[in-house]
Amino acid sequence: MLDFTNQVVLVTGSSRGIGRAIARLFAERGARVAVHYHRDQAAAEATLAELPGGPHYLVSGDLADAAAVAAFVDAVIAQAGRLDVLVNNAAIYEDHPLAEVEYETWQASWRRVFDTNVIGAANASYCAARHMIAQGGGRIVNVSSRGAFRGEPTGPAYGASKAALNAMSQSLAKYLAPYGISVGVVAPGFVQTDMAREALSGQSGVEIRAQSPFNRVAQPEEVAYAVLFLASAGAEFMTGAIIDVNGASYLRT
């Protein structure tokens, strides 16, 4: 059983969905967890309240705001005294089909998605890694998407942002290894969360589930377990790896 007793873990976007499942699973394995949120404080407090063990922490900030990122990472260090694992889970998705949106809308979507999904994760990684270097090591796990590989036709900024996140992760894996920091990636397909509820309802849901030979989508806990595995002490030599959690709905070669 993976053990994170007394380790400090920061999970961005952990007020709901995959992030909440990641926070809960780390806490169940003994970690002290920093629950991060942007807007939904009530949901974040609900996540915090359900975590076993502790002490746990609550931090907030907009990933698209560089100063806010530095502030909430520093807040974790100030409260917990260290940071052992960063999970870059927070992300946004926007539909902006090329033939249907104005040029200004197209540009704005690309900026918003990249500011959060790529620049935000890069800034969080920088701030966390600087602390990890000083303390002698750590783990960074980034939550990507199968959309980085198969494409997102109506949300190309999202697919491109996740491809960029993959490339960033592998670059940092090579750079940070000498400092005792490993960097891994988990790439889910569809996951049974509130965000996916509309897509998974009705006929579209039938078609999405049929993409996997299991005829279902992932549960948040299945993604969370892959994150914990990459963050564990025994997985250090997997640094730079991208683990698919999509039920064979999309197979890379």
Identify the active-site residue in 126, 158, 179, 225: 158
Packing angle between helix 156-176 and helix 103-114, nearest 10 degrees? 30
Task: Return the residue matching tokens 């790439």.
Answer: 187
Angle at CA 217, nearest 5°, toward 216 and 221? 125
Q: In sequence order, what DSSP letters do the residues of 123-188 get, joined into one string?
A: HHHHHHHHHHHHHT-EEEEEE--THHHH--TT-HHHHHHHHHHHHHHHHHHHHHGGGTEEEEEEEE
250 is catalytic: no
How far is Cα 88 from Cα 71, in angstroms, rounded to an integer? 16
Rounded distance between C-alpha atoms, residue 28 and residue 110, angstroms: 37
Decide: helix, strand or coil at residue 207: helix
State the catalytic residues: 158
